[in-house]
Chains A and B, each alone.
Chain A
Amino acid sequence: MAGSDEGGKMLDFADSRQVSLPISRVKLIMKSSPDVNNINQDALFLTAKATELFVQYLAAYSYKKGSGRESKCLTYHDLARSPEECDTFQFLADILPKKILARDYFKLLEEKEKEDEGDGEETDDSD
Chain B
Amino acid sequence: MAERPEDLNLPNAVITRIIKEALPDGVNVSKEARSAISRAASVFVLYATSCANNFAMKGKRKTLNAGDVLSAMEEMEFQRFVPLLKDSLEAYKKGQKGKKEASEQKRKEKDKKTDSEDNDKSREEENEEEEERMEEEETKEGENEEEEAEN
| Residues on A facing B (Cβ under 8 Å) | 2, 4, 7, 10-11, 13, 16-17, 19-22, 25-26, 28-30, 32-33, 35-43, 45-47, 49-60, 62-63, 72-76, 78-80, 87-88, 91-92, 95-96
Contact = CB atoms under 8 A, between A and B. Distances in A.
Given A87-B77, A91-B43, A92-B40, A55 B19 contact: yes
B116 to A, nearest CB: 37
Interface of B: 3, 7-8, 10-11, 14-15, 17-19, 21-24, 26-30, 32-33, 36-37, 39-50, 52-53, 57, 62-66, 68-70, 73, 76-78, 80-81, 83-85, 87-89, 91-96, 146
Contact of A16 (B14, B33, B52, B84): B84
A29 B50 CA distance: 11
Given A42-B89, A55-B19, A74-B29, A50 B69 contact: yes
A74 B27 contact: yes
A91 B3 CA distance: 24
Nearest to A28: B7
Contact of B33 (A21, A25, A52, A74): A74
24 contacts: A2-B21, A7-B22, A10-B83, A19-B88, A28-B7, A36-B53, A45-B88, A47-B69, A49-B88, A49-B89, A51-B44, A55-B37, A55-B40, A55-B41, A59-B19, A60-B23, A63-B27, A72-B27, A74-B23, A74-B28, A74-B33, A75-B30, A92-B43, A95-B39
Contact of A50 (B43, B73, B92): B73
B22 A42 contact: no
Contacts of A79: 33, 36-37, 40
A25 B76 CA distance: 22
Given A10-B80, A73-B30, A52 B18 contact: yes
